[in-house]
Amino acid sequence: MGVKIVETGLRDGHQSLFATRMNTEEVLCALKELDQVGYHAIEIWGGATFDACLRFLNEDPWERLRLAKKVCKKTKLQMLFRGQNILGYRHYADDVVEKFVEKSIKNGIDIIRIFDALNDIRNLECAVKATKKYGGECQIALSYTTSPVHTVQYYVELAKEIEKMGADSICIKDMAGVMMPTAAYELISALKKNTKLPIELHSHCTGGLCEMTYLKAIEAGVDIVDCALSPLSGGTSQPCTESLNFALQGTEYDPKLNVAMLNAAAAKMAPVKAKYLANGLLNPKVLSVNANIIKYQVPGGMLSNLINQLKQQDASDRLDEVLAEVPNVRKDMGYPPLVTPLSQMVGTQAVLNVLSGERYKMVPKEINEYLHGRYGRSPAPVDEEIRRKIIGDDKVITYRPADDLKPEFEELKKQYKGIAKSDEDVLSIALFGDVAIKFIEQRNEDAIPTVIHVEA
Ligand code: CO
């Protein structure tokens, strides 16, 4: 059997390349063709796509999903789900997590990819259970990073636990694109030996390694890899779908994708890319290789955030010091993988440590919460001396953080019954507060259900 491909261009592709700004019409423009390609799945929804719809595009993210489902009749639709954070940035109560999973599946999602930034599987439990309950396919993603504790054995143990939890497949999520080809071979080989679940690899081209890493992973027996249609591939995005398909043609790994349909889809998507290049949202810089991310082991998005933060403080010349401080903060915090929200938290702390002239003199609220155990269990123990300096004698929780949260959904539904027209609206409000309320009020006033014509 050949390698299966998941098309990520409509979620991660435009998220990585131009701040998730494709509107629904653009997302749907080549979906009919993509549905005929022979993919394992098409990724279409996630935190940033949902957020950008409400915040920047004045569009209902639920409507995008329903329209996509109408067009995409053969291929499974996939979404990315941040465990107990759902698509937001804090922990939500279990009833909101469950309702969000239920509504995602009912509106068209087939596969839910669930991950936790810290790989604390307690933060996945609720979403996993709900996915099974509502008949969705449940994939658990492990956040990939390098550190003294993130060994092959560490990932093998996690994979075994995930199999026990009832996941249908496992994804290795290398959000920073730092996985070396040899590391991929070693890790995938070990996972294939220790679990029966299909293994998927997700990485990014940012550091210039990804195609090599995918090839070694494929040789080690990986079942599925994530690729993006050519106009939405490369740079900070995924490797190109068409190229990988060609590279594997005639081998035992041949994905056997429909080349004519790929070409037809790419031809429709090319003008969309051209538009974002022309209006400046797609910066050509993100299309070239950034080998610094291998040296510093930080995701591309985090690197550009740090550069922006320092620019605002008029301290651009301190970038090297900040980048040298990032691994120190990470070590103090017990080596969290640098993925949302931990990448922002560790980055901000590194900036504060350098600019204030004294380490941990200033500490953001989120790092303070993290040290109280409110994000979950850190991969390695945090530095106790630093913890005590910051939180004093405060109690550190060791149970699942969401156990402290009371049900929220019915309360919100009551509170917003004047504007929320559906449970989906209530969920949008639960996750994105004022941003969602502003959008829903405007939509209700305009009374236009949708202006997008769908060719079914
Ligand atoms: Co990604």
Same-domain status, 17 and 111? yes
Confidence of residue 293 (pLDDT cuts 50, 70, 90): confident
Distance (angstroms) between ligand 1 centre and the Cα of 8 equals 9
Distance (angstroms) between ligand 1 centre and the Cα of 332 equals 26
From 108, 102, 32, 21, select the one nearest 63 (Cα to Cα). 108
Same-domain status, 64 and 207? yes
Which tokens go with 248?
């594997």
pLDDT at 362: 97
| Structural domain contains residue 13 | yes
| Structural domain contains residue 452 | no
| Structural domain contains residue 455 | no
- Answer for the pair 325, 353: CB distance below 8 angstroms, yes or no: yes
Same-domain status, 232 and 90? yes
Decide which of 278, 313, 334 is a domain's last residue: 278
Same-domain status, 81 and 179? yes
Residue range 210-238: mean pLDDT, rounded: 97
Same-domain status, 193 and 76? yes
Residue range 366-379: mean pLDDT, rounded: 96
Answer yes or no: is pLDDT of 281 > 60: yes
Distance (angstroms) between ligand 1 centre and the Cα of 175 equals 5
Same-domain status, 124 and 36? yes
Total domains present in the chain: 3
Same-domain status, 244 and 380? no
Residue range 392-413: mean pLDDT, rounded: 96
Same-domain status, 272 and 386? no
Residue range 333-351: mean pLDDT, rounded: 94
Residue range 304-327: mean pLDDT, rounded: 91
Distance (angstroms) between ligand 1 centre and the Cα of 113 equals 12
The rounded mean pLDDT for the chain is 95
Same-domain status, 232 and 357? no
| Structural domain contains residue 171 | yes
Q: Which residues surround the ion ligand 1 when the cut-off is CB under 5 Å?
A: 12
Q: H or E segment at 6?
A: strand 4-7
Same-domain status, 45 and 187? yes
| Structural domain contains residue 283 | no
Same-domain status, 66 and 165? yes
Conformation bin of residue 297: beta by default, left when phi > 0, alpha when psi is -120 to 50: left
Decide which of 278, 307, 339 is a domain's last residue: 278
| Structural domain contains residue 454 | no
- Answer for the pair 228, 240: CB distance below 8 angstroms, yes or no: yes
Residue range 73-80: mean pLDDT, rounded: 98
pLDDT at 455: 53
pTM here is 0.94
Answer yes or no: is pLDDT of 269 > 70: yes
Confidence of residue 1 (pLDDT cuts 50, 70, 90): confident
Same-domain status, 20 and 121? yes
Domain that residue 424 falls in:
407-446
CATH of the domain at 338: 1.10.472.90
Residue range 248-252: mean pLDDT, rounded: 97
pLDDT at 108: 98
